[in-house]
Amino acid sequence: MASAATRFIVAMIKSILVVRGQAATPCYFSLMSAPAHRFAAVLGTYAAVVRNPSYFPLWLGQLISNFGDTLHYIAMVVLVYQLTGQGAAVAILVTAEIIPVLVLGPIAGVIVDRFSRKSVLIASDLFRAALVLSLVWPQNVWHAYLVAAGLAAGNAFFNPTMQAVIPALMSENQRLAANSVAWSTGRLVQIIASALAGGLIAIISTGAAFALNAASFVVSALLIARITIPSHAGQVDAGAKRGIGRFFADAREGLRFGVHDPLISRLLPVQILASLATGASSTLLIVLAERHLRLPPAEFAWLIAAVGVGALLGPLIPNTFARDYRDARWLFVPYVIRGIGDLLIATIASVPVALMILFVYGLNTSSGMVVFSSTLQSTIPEHMRGRVFTLFDVTWSAARLLSLAVGAALVDVIGIRPVYWLGGSLLVVAGITGLTLLGRYDFRRED
């Protein structure tokens, strides 16, 4: 019975890969037959990207900042719990991190598209450094919430700017490798920092962890200052008098572009479906581990580690096996596979099977992420990149917040397994919808 089910799932995925009569590319079913020299070539491309003097300071700065962010996140959870003694108080941190993105996204998009992106990156880093440093002497739990919201506000400016500057620093052929090496090394640093965080915080205290994170932001700003980021289309002098009316006109222009552009207008609803599917399930994994897999809290970390190792290796897949990553299948088949994984992990109460499923989940999450970023960087006009990337941030965050609220309300009413079944089904629908809407879209169009 199990082998028959496995053959059915594989056959279903293969059928999905055939988009409107096109032959399926051997992306997920010829991994073992891929030549070793291709994998070696990918590693060589990674090394060449890292050595690029325009990219190395940016990559190194983010690597250091990722280490500090991981320490910060764990220290923040510890601090909030110490201040309140309530697990529910920790959940407020998630809301504090989402709301600023919803409020500031439209503003951030216009700033990124109209002013010096290098200045935006540096200012965001220094702003976040000052905020984090204030936590060395915490006042109360509301201080921690305000800092979490402030960091999210800084991220609302920094993250889309990073996405917008990569095309200016890397060639078309290097973008997938640049996004991949940044993602993989970032996940590696997070795994290392997570393993060290408990001991470090116990030895040096949460205050010292916050100080280290503040220092990492300063180092990132100093490294970015060394990079030459050329002026972009649409950029104006920061001192120009444009007026509030012009500012709102720029924001409306970005929204109109998203509504009418044939790629963005179809990709946005797919991303909203995916966020609705994963917002609750990703947060409630610990509940699934306890109630379905019967894991004690101390062993929950193994599930997170499985996702992390998969996410670390995932970007190798499109780099090694994709003839051209700009294809709807590389964007949306990972959703289908992840959705099937959610259905299976909520059905089969086996820890080894769960670890394998979560490893594959991490593989597909990261491979889909790097393809998504690289594809948008190649297709969005330069003067629109900031507003489009913030539009995706806003819609993703809004759907995630709704998913969290619905998931939290349902988990104690219908149970954790139905929540995962609903989320997995919705994620499969998101993938199939993307293949249907964009199966024939030409992702290789020029700006």
pLDDT tens digits for range 229-288:
887 756 655 445 566 777 788 888 988 998 999 999 999 999 999 999 998 888 788 788
Amino acid found at 195: A
The angle at the Cα of 346, spanning 315 to 429, to the nearest 5 degrees, equals 60
| Dist CA 326 CA 330 (whole Å) | 7
Tokens of 353: 């099977």
| Dist CA 284 CA 419 (whole Å) | 9
Domains of the chain: 9-51+251-447 (1.20.1250.20), 52-240 (1.20.1250.20)
- Give per-residue burial for 285-322: e unless 16+ CB within 10 Å, then b: bebbbeebbebeeeebeebbbbbbbbbbbbbbbbbbbb
| Dist CA 60 CA 300 (whole Å) | 31
Q: Which helix (H) or strand (E) holds 132?
A: helix 117-133
Q: What is the pTM of this model?
A: 0.80
- pLDDT, residue 249, reads 84
Can you give the pLDDT of all 447 residues of the chain as single tens digits? 444 434 433 443 343 334 334 444 444 444 444 456 676 777 777 888 888 888 899 899 989 998 888 888 878 877 776 777 655 555 677 778 888 888 888 889 999 998 889 999 999 999 999 999 998 886 688 888 888 899 999 999 999 999 999 988 888 878 898 899 888 888 888 888 877 776 777 777 788 888 889 999 999 999 999 988 887 756 655 445 566 777 788 888 988 998 999 999 999 999 999 999 998 888 788 788 888 998 876 677 788 888 889 999 999 889 888 778 888 999 999 999 999 999 999 999 899 999 999 999 999 999 999 999 999 988 888 889 999 999 999 999 899 889 988 888 888 889 889 999 999 999 999 999 999 999 888 887 544
How many Cβ atoms are within 10 Å of 191's Cβ, its own excluded? 17
Q: How far does the chain reach from its first CA to its final CA, in angstroms?
A: 51
Q: Classify 28 as helix, strand or coil.
A: coil
How much is the CA Rg of the chain, to the nearest whole Å? 22
Q: Which helix (H) or strand (E) holds 251?
A: helix 243-260
Share above pLDDT 90 across residues of the chain, in percent, rounded to a whole number: 34
Cα 380 to chain centroid, rounded = 19
- 10 Å CB burial of residue 173 (0-12, 13-18, 19+) is exposed
CB 97 within 8 A of CB 152: yes
- Per the listing, tokens 């088949």 go with 333
**C-alpha distances out from residue 312 to 50, 188, 191, 368, 379, Å:** 17, 6, 9, 13, 26
